[in-house]
Amino acid sequence: MAASAPGRAGRACYPGLRIADTTIMHPRRHALATLLLAAAAAAAAADDVHLTNGNTLEGHARRVGNEVVVVTAAGELRLPASEVREIVPGKTRRDRYVERLRALEKSARATDADAYVELGDWCAAQRLRAEAGRAFRRALELDADHRAAHVRLGHVRHEGRWLTEAQYYEARGFVRDGGAWVHRDELARRRARVAREKALRTHRDTIRSCVRRMQSQRRKERQLAKVELQEYAESIGDLRLASFASDVADGYNAQWRVIRQQLARGTALTEIRATQATLKRPIPVFTTSLGANSTPVRIQLPELAITSIRTTVLVPLDIELDEDD
């Protein structure tokens, strides 16, 4: 039975929040420094910029001439001052995160893994993905086996070890294919099936192409097609196909021989039938009423002039047979 990908065990339970998979490592001292640097970068005061269209931007705003420059997490945005209704000084989510982080680092819970999980949960609720990930990883720096932090990061307990999603799938014999996890045995079967289907299409197309070319009036083209099909048959070890190539070539040569014998001076009598339809103009119009009290209706009655031709003509043929010099 084909293996199926395991479920999404261990995924964090925050709607709309996905924290990137991380490699599980031993505690590193620079983790705390990383948190503090990230916090310092966002420590400046922030504002709510209310626009005339009803939208609100959150960032650091300043007036520059006839423009208002707003620096947000996504970058710098310049707006005409006429589009800004009001600038209200305030704090962004990142500012509040900085405050919480600094307060935690100065508190008695500075080395408490649970405290960082709580901070990460708050960040997740505020949709601060990167900050949430940092907080959960800091919890693991303090307690490498902290279950809640591992679960928040999407890690899975497997054979006594916490693994990332990728490590968990790989440990169970799964590999990535087209953005999905597939067991390596199933992937091997899929690839073998694709290879067989491709080989079958190549086999069929090669035979059809050669047979089509062996129908040619030209002796050289028929012979080249026969040799090509025989060589292909030898390459795949199919002696019946090689014999089939010879039979087809001989059969078409015999047919052309009969046709040429029936021709008079290398010509053939061919019947031609042609039909031409022409729309007559102007198109007649018929006016009628669908009832005593209804509005008259105009109906067009198109007519076609049909011209048919049937005749016979002599078509020159240039047939070459295998036995020709």
Average pLDDT over residues 144-172: 91
pLDDT of residue 123: 92
In whole angstroms, what is the distance from residue 279 CA to residue 133 CA?
75
With a pLDDT cut of 90, the percent of the chain lying above it is: 30
- pLDDT tens for each residue of 284-311: 776 665 555 556 667 777 777 777 777 7
**For residues 116 and 136, is the Cβ–Cβ distance under 8 A?**
yes
- pLDDT tens for each residue of 39-73: 444 444 568 888 999 888 888 888 899 999 988 77
Average pLDDT over residues 104-130: 92
Quick one: residue 65, left, alpha or beta (phi over 0 = left, psi -120 to 50 = alpha)?
left
**For residues 203 and 229, is the Cβ–Cβ distance under 8 A?**
no
- Weakest-pLDDT range from 129-138, 142-151, 291-300: 291-300
What lies within 8 Å, CB to CB, of 229 at 6+ separation is 206, 207, 210, 211, 214, 241, 242, 244, 245, 248
Q: Which residue has the higher pLDDT, 290 or 176?
A: 176
pLDDT of residue 111: 92
What pairs with residue 175 in β-bridges?
182
Q: Is 158 exposed, middle or buried (0-12, 13-18, 19+ CB in 10 A)?
A: middle
pLDDT of residue 11: 42
Question: What CATH number belongs to 30-159?
Answer: 2.30.30.100
248 token code pair: 């087809």
Domain spans in the chain, listed from the N-terminal domain onward: 30-159, 187-262
Task: Indicate the average pLDDT of the chain.
Answer: 79
Tokens 């420059």 belong to: 69
Q: How confident is the model at residue 268 (pLDDT cuts 50, 70, 90)?
A: low
Average pLDDT over residues 15-32: 45
Q: Which residue has the higher pLDDT, 27 or 88?
A: 88
With 70 as the cut, is the pLDDT of residue 28 above it?
A: no
Average pLDDT over residues 221-235: 91
Q: Which letter does DSSP use for residue 290 in this model?
A: S
In whole angstroms, what is the distance from residue 128 CA to residue 99 CA?
14
**For residues 175 and 182, is the Cβ–Cβ distance under 8 A?**
yes
Task: Give the helix ranges, DSSP H, for the chain.
Answer: 30-41, 93-106, 113-125, 129-142, 147-152, 165-171, 184-213, 219-235, 239-262
Cα distance between the two ends of the chain: 64
* Biggest distance spanned by C-alpha atoms of the chain: 112
Q: How confident is the model at residue 197 (pLDDT cuts 50, 70, 90)?
A: very high
Picking from 226, 221, 224, the residue whose alpha carbon sits closest to that of residue 251 is: 226
- pLDDT tens for each residue of 199-216: 889 999 999 999 999 888
Q: 3 φ, ψ to 5°?
A: -75, 145
In whole angstroms, what is the distance from residue 161 CA to residue 41 CA?
35
How many residues belong to the chain? 325
**For residues 116 and 104, is the Cβ–Cβ distance under 8 A?**
yes
pTM: 0.44
- Weakest-pLDDT range from 24-33, 53-62, 168-177, 225-234: 24-33
pLDDT of residue 146: 93
With 50 as the cut, is the pLDDT of residue 128 above it?
A: yes
pLDDT of residue 238: 86
Half-sphere exposure of 29 toward its Cβ, with a 13 Å CA cutoff? 0
